[in-house]
Structure 1
Amino acid sequence: MTWFQALILGIIQGLTEYLPVSSSAHLVLVPWLLGWRSDERLVFPFDVLVHWGTLVPVLIYFRHDLWAILAGGWAGLRKGVPFATPEGRLGGWILLATVPAEILGLLLKRSIEAVFLQPVLVGALLFGTAGLLWLGERLGRRERDLGRMTVGDALVIGFAQALALLPGISRSGATMAAGLGRGFLRPEAARFSFLLSIPALLGAGLVALGDLYRIGLPPEAMTPILIGFLSAALSGYLAIWGLMKMVRRRSLRPFAVYCAGIGALTLMLSLLRG
């Protein structure tokens, strides 16, 4: 893997992790479309550590929310009522919504990994992301804030996040669409989606780091990983900032059109390549 490929893949990871277009799909499809060939020993550690690069911007952007959630939860815990405050309850909803993806990810790990080797299937699954976004915008009432979240809301959004274990189904797209479908305001659905990404990224990263520890990190991987990590962190912050501004005024339908277009392009190219 060259430094240029690491830079491009890091930028793609950062942008698509938070934009509702599926980061996993782009990381599979871009090298396939461009005909890039990477050392198999480098691909896994690069993906793992660059994925963690996208955790940095969400921690920075939502640092005030995270501090309020931790402070509220700790204050309530000391009194024996950890979910008594709005911030404490929000933290509880985030933890509850994390459970479905964590359980299914562990149970279906090998089956899901096999999908990453099939670019055509990944392209087809992008139509799923397009459909979820379109339905969320079409059916959502967009009148509730996160202070009115219920157990049912958290579980629906959590199972939507579990769908994104499949490459091609966007995690942010699925969770935002589910939030819209449950009647949340678009900025509130986006905010919960981003906060929900924190335990998801941490959990997935820890599991992958365990695998990486057993495999070992090749010395030649350090430079591309550093370039990819930094570019993913910077582009990820720009993606969060831009999307949070956008959802205050505009719908997510352009992303649905984009996902459908990339999916169609992938299927057409696969037919042409035979």
Structure 2
Amino acid sequence: MMQNKLSFLFVLSLFSNTAFAAHPLVTEDTGMQGLDKQQIELNMDHVDFAGRRTQVSGLTYTYGLRDSIDLYANLPLTWSQPSGINDVALGTKILFLEKEELKLAFKAEWQLPTGNPKKGLGSDSQDANLLLVGSYDLSDWTVQSNLALTAHRFRDTISHKDSRSVVWRASTAVLYTIRPEWKVLADISIAQNELLSRRNAEVTRVIGIIASPTPDIDVDIGVQFVQHNSGLEKRWGAGLSLRY
């Protein structure tokens, strides 16, 4: 039973928040694509946790419905065995306040149980993610913060009866612009434990670099450390964003 719970939590750690933020960040930003503008994001990560090594990636397409409204779809994949599609996510981000250096946005995301949980692909849960997103720009520094709620609706409620149906997450990221083409970042997230029997929070720390050779291209590398119930997950990888 405990092994099944830990496997379930491992799956959630890989895929439940895939579409929340631009790689390598955990914290979502308030940036918008603009009317009729589009973006494609591709990332690849190597995950090492509890003696298990996994290669995962994400492909996200974003369309600017209006200057203040984005629509997006995210397709997460596992390349190591067993390989396949994980839980697809659809969502929208709405910028509702822009005042000098401060911006506030709301993000709603629906995660579909498209993966095969019997193969360790996906969380076997239909999730609703709601985020309040804030950012503050001051010269070369940018601070981003999120407050998030995730509601799980498990298809197999008996297997996950000891798991919380609603969990919260709070995170903050700091980015420093060395020059227009280079940014360094640090990010920290605290999330409520998925297990009802555990009170300790899950803590995620991220450090990374973003290079922008042109205004429409971002290339990033990052390292992420996640403290789970049963150990430390290490994740490192790279990402590419193209806007047009």
For CA contacts below 8 A with separation 6 or more, give which structure has more relative contact order.
1
**Structure whose CA Rg is larger:** 1
TM-score, with structure 1 as normaliser: 0.27
More helix by share: 1
TM-score, with structure 2 as normaliser: 0.29
